[in-house]
Structure 1
Amino acid sequence: MSNIEGMDINALWKQTTTAPLVGGIAGKKVFSIAFSRFAPYFSTIGATVTVLEPNHVELVIPNKKKVHNHIGTVHAIALCNGLEMAMGALAEATIPKSKRWIPKGMSIEYTAMANTDITCIAETDQEQWDTANGALDVRVKGVRTDGTVVIEGVIKLWVTDKPAKKSA
């Protein structure tokens, strides 16, 4: 549906996750690395996108030292980075071609210690995109491997029509 500098994120997902030589988990890692190139700070958390569908994206931040805070849990900013990466992938996979988006704000709560790998989830409803002309809320949360929610909230987007192309 959408393009990041000419790239169709849905086509890239399909290509990397179904290719015979790469597919499966390896393909998801290849996709995640490619996606991170468009917002390089995403690469700092080493996340792997595991689900990419319109209105629903999941990715996993591994519980590794490079994302830890001083008490050995996944750092709050790493969690926010994962939520924003999931939201960005969701927006690119979902937004109608006639619209554009930009983040407007994030409101989150930390609800438990992030002491395992964390699955970051971003979700919307298609109706939100179909009628969007201004604010659009993306629901986000991070979940431990035992199912405990460690962070949850909303990332607010500003969604508008793309400007008409100027003729030469």
Structure 2
Amino acid sequence: MDPTRVMAVWSRLGGSALGRRLFSMMLGWGVPYSGSIGARVTQLAPGTCELVLPDRRRVHNHLNSIHAIALINLAELASGLAMLSGLPPTARGIVTHIEMDYEKKARGMLTARSTACAPGLIDCDMQHTVEAEIFDAEGDRVAVGRILWQVGPKPEVQA
């Protein structure tokens, strides 16, 4: 995904509930696995992202709480959007490692927040860790993910 394009679409659609829903649907179509959990983008600015995940049966485990892998998916998506929104259009990021701490059973509407300090000049590959925190409706942190991104210049396309 081109960071400039993502932010341009968000700037057109992010100002209304309908626009945010449409943006989230487009994101899910463009990134099908991340779209599978049905998270919605509520805030997006260079270096920061907030998502909500409604509590639905399709993301539950056998303990009637939100599945651990759905939480990882949510954290990775939040960190990715925070990272991507701060990158120049000539750069890309690829996840190389994810670790997750689960602090409480995740139930109800969840909110994921992530902030990334994107590196300035990107002329070589570098590692960058982005944290994403997930909170329940009461404001309790239920999980925190640390996602390691390899950030570098996009490869040049050979004609």
TM-score (norm 2): 0.90
Secondary structure in 1 matching 2:30: coil
Aligned-residue Cα RMSD (Å) equals 1.8
Are residue 101 (structure 1) and residue 98 (structure 2) matched?
no
Residue 92 of structure 1: how far off its partner (Å)? 2.2
Q: 23, 26, 30: which one pairs with 1:31?
A: 23
Q: Which residue of 2 aligns with 1:72?
A: 64
Residue 110 of structure 1: how far off its partner (Å)? 0.3
Are residue 48 (structure 1) and residue 40 (structure 2) matched?
yes
Q: Distance in 2 between matches of 1:165 and 1:39?
A: 22
Q: Which residue of 2 aligns with 1:16?
A: 13
The amino acid of 1:115's aligned partner reads R
Q: Distance in 2 between matches of 1:114 and 1:165?
A: 43
The amino acid of 1:74's aligned partner reads I
Kindly report structure 1 stretches of 4+ aligned residues shifted beyond 4 Å: none
1:1-168 aligned at under 5 Å gives the runs 3=2, 8-18=5-15, 24-126=16-118, 129-130=119-120, 133-164=125-156, 166=158
Residue identity (%): 29
The amino acid of 2:11's aligned partner reads K
Q: Distance in 2 between matches of 1:155 and 1:42?
A: 15
Q: CA deviation digits over 1:36-61, x for unaligned, max 9?
A: 11210122211110010111101001
The amino acid of 1:151's aligned partner reads A
**Unpaired segments of 5 or more residues in structure 1?**
19-23
The amino acid of 2:30's aligned partner reads F
Q: Which residue of 2 aligns with 1:21?
A: none
Q: Distance in 1 between matches of 2:37 and 2:157?
A: 37
Q: CA deviation digits over 1:117-164, x for unaligned, max 9?
A: 1111121124xx215641000111111111111110310000112334
Task: Say how many residue pairs are matched.
Answer: 157
**Unpaired segments of 5 or more residues in structure 2?**
none
Secondary structure in 2 matching 1:88: helix
Q: CA deviation digits over 1:19-39, x for unaligned, max 9?
A: xxxxx2111110001011121
- Asked if the contact 2:128–2:151 (Cα under 8 Å) also holds between the matched residues in 1, the reply is yes
Q: Distance in 1 between matches of 2:85 and 2:91?
A: 12
The amino acid of 1:139's aligned partner reads E
The amino acid of 2:8's aligned partner reads A
Secondary structure in 2 matching 1:45: coil
